[in-house]
Structure 1
Amino acid sequence: MTDQTSVNRNKIARQFIEAIPHAQTLGMLLTEIGDGTAEITMPYDDRLVGDPETGVIHGGAVSALMDTCSGAAVMVHPTAPIATATLDLRIDYMRSAKPGDRLTTRAECYHVTRSVAFIRATAFDGDFDRPVATATGAFTIERAPE
Structure 2
Amino acid sequence: MPNPELLAILPQLASGSAHTHALGFRLESIEGQRVRMRVPYRPELVGDPASGVLSGGLVSTLLDHVGGMSVWLAMDQFQSIATLDMRVDYMRAASPGRDLLAEAECYQLNRTMAFVRAWAFEDSPDNPVAASQAAYIIHKPALRDGGSDQAQIQNQANA
TM-score (norm: length of structure 2): 0.81
Instruction: Give me the identity figure in percent.
Output: 38
Match of 2:51 in 1: 54
Query: Residues 142 and 11 (structure 1 numbering): CA distance in 2 closer, same or farther, change over 3 Å?
Result: farther
Match of 1:63 in 2: 60
Equivalent position amino acid for 2:66 in 1:
C
Query: Residues 127 and 101 (structure 1 numbering): CA distance in 2 closer, same or farther, change over 3 Å?
Result: farther
Contact persistence 1:33–1:73 (CA under 8 A): no
Match of 1:114 in 2: 111
Matching residue within 121, 124, 127 for 1:130: 127
For 1:127 and 1:81, how far apart are their aligned partners in 2? 28
Gapped regions of structure 2 (runs ≥ 5): 142-151
RMSD: 2.0
Q: Secondary structure at the match of 1:54?
A: coil
Deviation digits for residues 116-139 of structure 1 (CA, Å, limit 9, x no counterpart): 000000100245541100000000
The number of residue pairs the alignment matches comes to 143
Equivalent position amino acid for 2:54 in 1:
I
Match of 2:149 in 1: none
Query: Residues 29 and 123 (structure 1 numbering): CA distance in 2 closer, same or farther, change over 3 Å?
Result: same
| Bigger-Rg structure (1/2) | 2
Contact persistence 2:47–2:55 (CA under 8 A): yes
For 1:91 and 1:102, how far apart are their aligned partners in 2? 19
Gapped regions of structure 1 (runs ≥ 5): none
